[in-house]
């Protein structure tokens, strides 16, 4: 004897789960495609250390803001951003061929400062922990 579960019934017709917005799905596809593209096709040594951290696409799918990080930190962020801007046409052509969209979004590259901010906050926490240890040892 099976017990009737309304959640399973709703899921089977597609009403029980929350669907992602199209712009979010497109952003994920662009991030995945560019990450693979950067590994396989880009030969510019300035772009060797680039990692695509996240992509934000506007709701009308006209603009994609691509946030990147560098393994070496933010020292060469501006130069890398210029190199990415120069390769933008090459990348956009690749996306047009692979994503099969009516309109390929304009690509805007920005350095993602989130990793730097996290490292800064972690260093503050480390300083606090060190001060607590010093006070505990002095008492």
Residue 67 phi/psi, 5-degree rounding, is: -100, 130
- In order, the DSSP letters of 66-96 are EEEEETT-GGGHHHHHHHHHHTHHHHHHHHH
- What is the tens place of the pLDDT at every residue in 9-57? 555 555 555 667 888 999 999 999 998 988 888 888 888 888 899 999 9
Residue 108 phi/psi, 5-degree rounding, is: -120, 125
Chain centroid, CA 128 distance in Å: 31
Q: Report pTM.
A: 0.71
111: β partners? 68
**Predicted confidence (pLDDT) at residue 7 exceeds the cutoff of 70:** no
Q: Which CATH class is domain 17-112?
A: alpha beta
d(CA 84, CA 134) in angstroms, rounded, equals 47
Around Cβ 124, how many Cβ atoms within 10 Å?
10
- What is the tens place of the pLDDT at every residue in 67-98? 998 877 777 888 888 889 998 999 999 999 99
Three-state secondary structure readout of 24-63: HHHHHHHHHHHHHHHHHCCCCHHHCCEEEEEEEECCCCCE
The residue ranges of every structural domain in the chain are: 17-112
d(CA 21, CA 121) in angstroms, rounded, equals 32
Residue 101 phi/psi, 5-degree rounding, is: -105, 160
């Amino acid at each position: 004897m099976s017990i009737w579960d309304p959640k399973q019934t709703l899921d089977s017709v597609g009403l029980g789960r929350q669907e992602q917005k199209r712009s979010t799905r497109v952003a994920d596809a662009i991030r995945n495609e560019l990450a693979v593209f950067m590994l396989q096709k880009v030969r510019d040594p300035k772009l060797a250390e680039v990692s695509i951290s996240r992509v934000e696409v506007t709701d009308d799918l006209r603009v994609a803001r691509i946030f990147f990080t560098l393994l070496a930190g933010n020292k060469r962020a501006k130069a890398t951003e210029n190199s990415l801007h120069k390769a933008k046409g090459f990348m956009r052509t690749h996306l047009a061929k692979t994503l099969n969209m009516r309109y390929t979004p304009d690509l805007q590259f920005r350095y993602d400062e989130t990793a730097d901010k996290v490292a800064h906050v972690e260093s503050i926490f480390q300083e606090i922990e060190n001060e607590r240890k010093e006070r505990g040892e002095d008492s």
